[in-house]
Amino acid sequence: MSAPRERLPGERVFALLVVLFSAFMLWSSFGISGFKSSTSAGAFPMAASATMLVCALIALVQTLKMPAAAAQPGESTLQHLRRRVAPAVIVWTTVAIFAYMLVLERLGFIVASYVYLLVNMRILGERRWRVSALASAVVLAAIYVVFQTAFSVVLPSGSLWQGFFK
């Protein structure tokens, strides 16, 4: 039998937030049409949010019963949270995704995606720039061909380049 899982820092707060969100969703779905009949417009959203609330309550109770994970000696709660829940690779990948979202329309799909792939490969640990450059180009070419030809998706061309290629 394996040892019980330890509760991560911030897990109790997160479980409580999920319960509160689920209760809010149940209350909101009740506002659609009330509980008039099982075929009313709000019946399915109420059933889904009630199920979500029950599961969230079960998860909260289980979380409260778990032993807390031990921090390293001299480590504050915030440092423990950052080390266990939000390590640097996750934080920097998230920053890269947000930056990609911000520049996609301006730079266009090809340039923004190529830079994003290069940066993210570096974040994930690849140190050889030639490997990253080649892998990013190959992956981007495959994605472009599939979406442009197979799915006929119009990919952003970028407003920054519009004046250069007219």
State how far the Cα of 26 lies from the Cα of 47, in Å rounded to an integer: 8
State how far the Cα of 124 lies from the Cα of 89, in Å rounded to an integer: 7
Residue 164 has pLDDT above 70, yes or no: no
Residue 123 has pLDDT above 70, yes or no: yes
Residue 161 has pLDDT above 80, yes or no: no
Say what the pLDDT of residue 35 is: 72
Residue 8 has pLDDT above 90, yes or no: no
**157 has which bridge partners?**
none
Stretch 13-38: mean pLDDT: 90
pTM summary value:
0.62
Residue 163 has pLDDT above 60, yes or no: no
Stretch 56-79: mean pLDDT: 89
Residue 103 has pLDDT above 70, yes or no: yes
